[in-house]
Chains A and B, each alone.
Chain A
């Protein structure tokens, strides 16, 4: 359904925001785009939706190139931009009507599809309110309703759940799951649980590059020999510890978590199973004259994998 090859996008003369990304998405898949701020998720989505053209590389959607055949491609897609921009002067109903009309839905069907969307996103209470007066979450729901109104084959959602309340997130997930039987969905988010809950596959992006592209289950399996380690160090100066501790060999990443007391600092490290991180750590701490007060290991979850992958990138 979606084939992306060597996608590069640079804004002006600065360093490219997307640096040679390739992936394929099959019909009916739900794929999450995951990455820290500035990774290039939005940029990729803008190119997928024909809002922008790639600087190089190709995107084919349903076999058509986005640059050569934007109208065809746009018909297939419902795109919810980041922050869900809308026309503030319009009421919800008017806005849904407008999107239905401009998407070429037949006149006789417009009423029905609006009603369906209103029900789907539970917008009944606000149908006649101006969008400008809605809360952020409602705005998002209006946005979601508006991109699904024409029953598109592909949904591209840029941070669809940010700003929704937990109830709404759950309904939203339900909706997506129901839709996923017929639709291809790409969504971006910072929230890992989101991806775990909805997506079959995740594409992790950092600094314009794909660092992982796999089914979530596979990812967990691949990195299942990874574990995280919580440990605490007793020392005088936090700053010094933070600076020095990264020199310990055998961990992907060591992060400061919190101060447990005035002199005890809690850290978290991502560690491959079987590495002698524990020993290295002990040696290092002793050599510095600090004290290791606790050390616990646990299974890695996606969060950790994400951290690790993102870290990998930064190390290079």
Chain B
């Protein structure tokens, strides 16, 4: 009986332990869902959403719905399929980081089904766009419509990313849209456009597009207009036609904590049927910047070691005035440019940081050591540069960033009159703290010269200037696909593929079996030895 008690006791005990274990497990699950870590082991932290994004998602106080739609045809094109996979993966990361407030909906729509067609039409109404797919690899190129876009909904606000067919910068684009609808992205950009002989609408369309993608509000500034209160960043492209009053306004804007980017040619270049000529720029901005301690020199810089040749007929002509800034010559310590590989600068002037602002300003990028500058006689035809005309002696700084305190250019000076409108009535500020970026070139963001990297630099600079500059680092994130492109010859390529498939699928099993046979033989011979050993014993 005693024993029976012991047994029942044991049973009760084990039930209690079982119950406790279950409780523990549940507590453990709950806890582990609260306290967890993720380590992204992929190259370039492909699937880590940045701190900026996490901070952005922390601001949510309501459900953010991210609807991602794509069609099956897009998934059949390998580049786009990769992007779709990446977007899906990233959305899961967002869902994860959103702590329950981010709802992700992913829908694959059929290209053919009428029901889905109706849905596509509906979504297209909201702004998602179809795009042409070009199927690479197959000889005949079918023209199909791809479809891969997102709808974002937060409270009553909605926004879209019309087409996603590139993984580069996806996180950034999504964050920008989220910022727009969640609020907080309320900074306003003002643009002074005064490039000589060119217009924003005709020659700088990309600039317009790129900035509009990021800023809901862009204010176009004209001479004599006063800068609206809500503009926080000024983009000054070209310095011609700026009046004294405009310069005064810019100065005061900076004194009061506004930030600005100056892209102004030291030398304006004219190409006509008589040849290419340079004319030194004439703008009040030069004086203003020099006063602050960052001077745009009225020169042209040529780089003998890194330039873009010009195509002349069938051959390439030497043209050191089209500088190609090399990866090594970017200031790796500065987030604006640390990740940029190259920037092309056509007819750029050097930017010089004056001694008294050395500790507030830094160079962003510069030429190689083999550069020279030209300060007069700007006859810039190709023939002039066919052979090196100057020896490169040193490197020239081409862009600079300033961050610190400045004194007003108009301290102890009278407020200029405004010839085109209202006069300044308030009291002027004589000192302040500001950030600005200076580059001695306008062309680098001009439609026919600019590429991806140039705009990334521009937008990074604008981000740096904006109050919330957390997104700089992720703008360029992406480009993860790893193509198998070591071998260019198609036949060799295909042979190697078959070899790898054959080896891994059929040869390895054969190796296993061979190992088996070897082990079998070894075991047998070992057995024989053991047998002999013990039976010799017997005889002796």
Answer whether A and B touch in the complex at a CB cut-off of 8 Å: yes
Which residues B512-540 have CB closer than 8 A to chain A? 527-528, 530-531, 534-535, 537-538
B39-70: CB near A (< 8 Å → 1, else 0) gives 00000000000000000000000000000000
B7 touches A56 (CB 8 A): yes
CB-defined contacts of A127 to chain B, threshold 8 Å: 527, 530-531, 534
* Residues on the A chain within 8 Å of B528, using CB: 128
Q: Would A56 and B3 be within 8 Å (CB), given that A124-B537, A124-B538 are in contact?
A: yes
Residue of B nearest to A92 (CB): B530
Q: Are B7 and A55 in contact (CB under 8 A)?
A: yes
Chain A residue nearest to B4 in the complex (CB): A56
Question: Which of B1, B4, B7, B530 touches A93 (beta carbons < 8 Å)?
Answer: B530
Scan residues 1-36 of chain A and give those whose CB is less than 8 A from a CB of chain B. Answer: 6, 8
* Cβ–Cβ < 8 Å partners of B3 in chain A: 6, 8, 54-58
With A55-B3, A58-B3, A128-B528 already in contact, 14 other A-B pairs whose C-beta atoms are closer than 8 Å: A54-B3, A55-B7, A56-B1, A56-B4, A57-B3, A93-B530, A123-B534, A125-B535, A127-B527, A127-B531, A127-B534, A128-B527, A128-B530, A128-B531
- Shortest CB–CB separation between residue A223 and chain B, in angstroms? 34
Q: Which residues of B contact A (CB under 8 A)?
A: 1, 3-4, 7, 527-528, 530-531, 534-535, 537-538
- Distance between Cα atoms of A57 and B528 in the complex (Å): 51
Whether, in the assembled complex, A147 has its beta carbon less than 8 Å from a beta carbon of chain B, the answer is no
Residues of A with C-beta under 8 A to B535: 124-125
Assembly CA distance A54 to B7 (angstroms): 10
Interface magnitude class on chain A: 10 to 19
**B contact face: mostly helix, strand, loop, or mixed:** helix
Query: Are A118 and B534 interface neighbours, CB within 8 A?
Result: yes
Chain B residues closer than 8 Å to A84, beta-carbon distance: none
- A122's nearest neighbour on chain B, judged by CB, is B538
Q: Find the B residue at minimum CB distance from A57.
A: B3
A113-156 interface code vs B (CB 8 A; 1 in, 0 out): 00100110001110110000000000000000000000000000
A123 / chain B contacts, CB cutoff of 8 Å: 534
Residue of chain B at shortest CB distance from A5: B3
Chain B residues with CB below 8 A from A56, complex form = 1, 3-4, 7
A-B contact pairs, 13 of them (CB 8 A): A6-B3, A54-B3, A55-B7, A56-B1, A56-B7, A57-B3, A93-B527, A118-B534, A119-B537, A124-B535, A124-B538, A127-B527, A128-B530
Q: How far is the CB of A306 from chain B (nearest CB, A)?
A: 31
Complex CA gap A6/B7 in Å reads 15
**Measured CA separation A256–B374 after assembly (Å):** 134
Which A residues are in CB contact (< 8 Å) with B4?
56
Residues of A within 8 A of B527 (CB): 91, 93, 127-128
For B539, give the chain A residue with the smallest CB separation: A124
> B531 to chain A: which residues have CB within 8 Å?
127-128
Residues of chain A contacted by B7 (CB below 8 angstroms): 55-56
A 88-104 binary contact with B (CB < 8 Å = 1; else 0): 00010100000000000
The answer for the CA separation of A222 and B3 in the assembled complex, in Å, is 35
- Please give, as numbers and ranges, the residues of chain B lying within 8 Å of A124 by CB-CB distance: 534-535, 537-538
B contact residues around A54 at 8 Å (CB): 3
In the A-B complex, list the 7 residue pairs whose CB atoms are closest, starting with the nearest: A56-B3, A128-B527, A128-B531, A124-B534, A127-B534, A93-B530, A128-B530
A127 CB to nearest B CB, Å: 5
> In the complex, what's the smallest C-beta–C-beta distance from B290 to chain A, in angstroms?
86
When C-beta atoms are compared, the residue in chain B nearest to A91 turns out to be: B527
Nearest CB in chain A: distance from B42 CB, A: 44
Q: Give complex CA distance A118, B535 in Å.
A: 11
Pick from A115, A124, A128 the residue with the most CB of B within 10 Å: A128
A307 to chain B, nearest CB (A): 34
Give bound CA distance, A115 to B7, whole Å.
Answer: 45
**A8–B286 alpha-carbon span in the complex (Å):** 106
CA distance A124 to B536 in the complex (A): 9
| Assembled-state Cα–Cα distance A55/B6 (Å) | 10
Q: Which residues of A contact B537 (CB under 8 A)?
A: 119, 124
Q: Which residues of B contact A57 (CB under 8 A)?
A: 3
- The smallest beta-carbon distance between A136 and chain B, in angstroms, is 21
CB distance from B212 to the nearest CB of A (A): 75
For residue B530, which residues in chain A have a CB less than 8 angstroms away from its CB? 91, 93, 127-128
